[in-house]
Chains A and B, each alone.
Chain A
Amino acid sequence: QSALTQPPSASGSPGQSVTISCTGTSNDVGGYNYVSWYQQHPGKAPKLMIFEVSKRPSGVPDRFSGSKSGNTASLTVSGLQAEDEADYYCSSYTGSNNSVFGTGTKVTVL
């Protein structure tokens, strides 16, 4: 199972929006509404930000939103804040009781 494809980096100024893409295939992202997104600060464990494409866990700001079109999922962070600077990973169910992660995107707040 190959990793999902994400851009290596993305950036934006405080208050702006940034969108991260996550491209897979019809066997993972395109085949199931089980796409999730994780935020990871340096030296810390990942934190769930979005599940089932667009749902937010309790406590996650509504500045974080998710969507999907075909084989590509997206995470949008609106109203960027300094604490949003982190690595972001997408993940998808693959239909064979496996999961696959994306390659990761480093978000920089300028």
Chain B
Amino acid sequence: EVQLVESGGGLVQPGGSLRLSCAASGFTVSGYSMNWVRQAPGKGLEWVSVIYSGGTTYYADAVKGRFTISRDSSKNTLYLQVNSLRAEDTAVYYCARGGYNAFHIWGQGTMLTVSS
């Protein structure tokens, strides 16, 4: 069964860092485009970042320079390193498999709260 399971969320102080993980099963992460999408409490969906199968990465302007997407083929896991966190980064972070045509498979999400 194709499945994505996120982890690593939690409470972080402003300016802090964290690494979010997304473990994949049923397929190889490095063979697909993989994304991070976030949703602030009570708000809509916001695309954050993508890593293409070839390894090229792109980011939304709101996180460029602060977030880094990566993957580990040996662990079949996608990551999002989040640095210089701000209150407005508080959200549920979802990983999603898919290219620019659509996000076909989604994880259940992990909550990141930025607060002092």
A contacts, CB < 8 Å to B: 1, 3, 32, 34, 36, 38, 40, 45-48, 51-52, 57, 89, 91, 93, 96-104
Contact = CB atoms under 8 A, between A and B. Distances in A.
Contacts of B44: 3, 89, 101-104
B109 A91 contact: no
A101 B101 contact: no
Q: Which of A47, A99, A102, A104 has the most CB of B within 10 A?
A: A99
A96 B56 CA distance: 13
Nearest to A47: B106
Given A45-B94, A97-B58, A52 B45 contact: no
Contact of A93 (B100, B107, B109): B100
* Contact size range, B: 20 to 34
B87 interface: no
Interface of B: 35, 37, 44-47, 50, 56, 58, 60-61, 94, 98, 100-104, 106-109
Contacts of B47: 91, 98-101
Given A47-B106, A98-B58, A38 B45 contact: yes
A77 B43 CA distance: 23
B45 A34 contact: no
Nearest to B58: A97
A51 B96 CA distance: 14
A46 B38 CA distance: 11
A106 B45 CA distance: 13
